[in-house]
């Protein structure tokens, strides 16, 4: 247990600063007495426009040295580098690769009080994790794609035994910590791939099958990614932990977020052996930036995940308690119908954050 924890904060672009600032207030309310010390660093597309640099070395170094990294969101459409891709995503991607944040844990849970688009179907209880491999797959080609004579563009999909094994192990370990799938209470890991078409995914599946043998207490199953999009809508309560390649995980977790009410509700934790980066699943939402109406729940629940992760690493009960209080405050607020406009509410980001702060202070 440490006296205090250094948190590197990178607000980023669009709604990033709006949701990040309110989350810092909530964290201070849950953990008074400077248990967390926040240091803010620049990165993202706005910073690139001002300085020509999207991720300063000092920001990277500070993130590496911090106990945890808290990030809003980065990226502005149209702010691109010479290869035509957005510079704003440099922050997240360089940290993922540089700090080896191989496991991207994206919990999907339908809260009481949220009217999700699947109402009336068998989706009363949706509660599973999309575990996205975060260090290789198709995104390993970031910055290394090639364009031949303006005629042929190539990005390479990379899957290694080391990378697959550790993410699949993480999936089974996570499943052991859950109560199983809502439909039947069975602890289950679903391997989502495209093994029927591409060799790299057939390899992913073969390694999955090998690792699954070490976890006879957990059900293991396969599903092809295109069918998975249907199953996530038709029978979401069948799932417990879904493990998948980097880009599939990126896409599937947005769909999963839609089934629980929208992107604004979905948290995310990106962890490796040493470092952890916590940011919501969504991007910078430029269409609503500056209006003060961004939904802060995804960011707030990501901050709670940060506290859980730090608590586990350092055996600190104070952090565990604060994480529970924040999650409880969110659950209560949603049950009471406290929402921003994306979920049919009228609250501003800061008003909703204040409700959460008041609840935490009253606990």
Q: Which residues bind ligand ATP (CB under 6 A)?
A: 15, 75, 254, 263-264, 282-285, 287-288, 294-295, 298, 342
Distance CA 208, CA 333 (A): 39
Cβ atoms of 206 and 191 closer than 8 Å? no
Indicate the residue among 66 and 289 with the shorter CB distance to ligand ATP.
289
Distance CA 354, CA 25 (A): 9
Q: Report, in Å, the least distance between residue 260 CB and ligand ATP.
A: 13
From the list 83, 209, 226, 358, the catalytic residue is 226
From the list 5, 60, 139, 239, the catalytic residue is 139
94 is a catalytic site residue: no
Q: Report, in Å, the least distance between residue 213 CB and ligand ATP.
A: 35
Give SS3 for 37. Answer: strand
348 is a catalytic site residue: no
Which residue matches tokens 């969504």? 282
Q: In 63-90, which positions are buried (b, 16+ CB within 10 angstroms) versus exposed (e)? A: beebbbbbbbbbbbeebeeeeeebbbbb
Indicate the residue among 25 and 254 with the shorter CB distance to ligand ATP.
254
Indicate the residue among 240 and 295 with the shorter CB distance to ligand ATP.
295
CB closest to ligand ATP, residue no: 283
From the list 254, 316, 324, 342, the catalytic residue is 254
Q: Report, in Å, the least distance between residue 290 CB and ligand ATP.
A: 12
Per-residue tokens: 170: 């993480």
CA 82 to chain centre: 28
Q: Residue 279's closest CA among 262, 293, 296, 258?
A: 296
Indicate the residue among 15 and 20 with the shorter CB distance to ligand ATP.
15
Count of C-beta atoms within a 10 Å radius of residue 274? 10
Q: Report, in Å, the least distance between residue 315 CB and ligand ATP.
A: 33
Q: Residue 283's closest CA among 60, 20, 108, 72?
A: 72
359 is a catalytic site residue: no
Indicate the residue among 129 and 289 with the shorter CB distance to ligand ATP.
289
Distance CA 13, CA 27 (A): 21
Give SS3 for 165. Answer: helix
Q: Report, in Å, the least distance between residue 99 CB and ligand ATP.
A: 19
Q: Report, in Å, the least distance between residue 202 CB and ligand ATP.
A: 28
From the list 94, 250, 308, 359, the catalytic residue is 250
Cβ atoms of 218 and 210 closer than 8 Å? no
DSSP line for 52-108: S-SS-HHHHHHHHHSSEEEEEE---TT-B-TTSSBGGGHHHHHHHHHTT--EEEEEE
From the list 90, 94, 193, 194, the catalytic residue is 194
Indicate the residue among 96 and 282 with the shorter CB distance to ligand ATP.
282
Indicate the residue among 75 and 182 with the shorter CB distance to ligand ATP.
75
How many residues are given for the chain?
A: 363
217 is a catalytic site residue: no
Cβ atoms of 209 and 168 closer than 8 Å? no
139 is a catalytic site residue: yes
Cβ atoms of 293 and 346 closer than 8 Å? no
CA distances in angstroms from 169 to 41, 99, 103, 143, listed in the order given: 34, 19, 10, 29
Distance CA 117, CA 108 (A): 14
Q: Report, in Å, the least distance between residue 285 CB and ligand ATP.
A: 4
Q: Which of the residues are catalytic?
A: 139, 194, 226, 250, 254
């Amino acid at each position: 247990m440490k006296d205090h924890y250094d948190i590197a904060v990178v607000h980023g672009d669009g709604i990033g600063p709006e949701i990040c600032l309110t989350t810092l207030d909530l964290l201070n309310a849950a953990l008074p007495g400077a248990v967390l010390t926040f240091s803010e660093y620049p990165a993202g597309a706005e910073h690139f426009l001002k300085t020509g640099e999207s991720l300063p070395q000092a920001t990277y170094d500070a993130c590496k040295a911090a106990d945890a990294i808290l990030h809003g969101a980065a990226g502005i459409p149209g702010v691109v580098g010479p290869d035509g891709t957005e510079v704003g995503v440099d922050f997240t991607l360089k940290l993922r690769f540089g700090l080896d944040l191989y496991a991207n844990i994206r919990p999907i849970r339908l809260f009481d009080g949220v009217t999700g688009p699947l109402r009336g179907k068998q989706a009363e209880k949706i509660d599973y994790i999309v575990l996205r491999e975060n260090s290789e797959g198709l995104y390993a080609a970031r910055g290394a794609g090639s364009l031949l004579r303006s005629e042929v563009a190539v990005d390479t999909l990379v899957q290694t035994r080391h990378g697959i094994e550790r993410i699949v192990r993480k999936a089974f370990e996570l499943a052991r910590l859950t109560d199983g799938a809502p439909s039947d209470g069975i602890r289950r890991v679903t391997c989502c791939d495209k093994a029927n078409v591409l060799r790299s995914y057939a390899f992913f599946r073969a390694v999955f099958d090998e690792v699954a043998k070490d976890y006879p207490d957990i059900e293991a199953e396969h599903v092809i990614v295109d069918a998975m999009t249907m199953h996530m809508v038709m029978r979401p309560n069948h799932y417990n932990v879904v493990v998948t390649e980097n880009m599939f995980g990126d896409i599937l977790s947005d769909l999963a977020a839609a089934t629980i009410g929208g992107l604004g509700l979905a948290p995310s934790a990106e962890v490796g052996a040493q470092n952890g980066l916590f940011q919501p699943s969504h991007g910078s939402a430029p269409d609503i930036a500056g209006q003060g109406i961004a939904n802060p729940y995804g960011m707030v629940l990501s901050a709670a995940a940060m506290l859980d992760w730090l608590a586990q690493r350092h055996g600190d009960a104070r952090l565990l308690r604060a994480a529970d209080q924040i999650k409880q405050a969110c659950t209560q607020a949603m049950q009471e119908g406290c929402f921003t406009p994306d979920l049919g509410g009228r609250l501003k980001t800061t008003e909703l954050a204040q409700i959460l702060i008041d609840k935490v202070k009253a606990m």
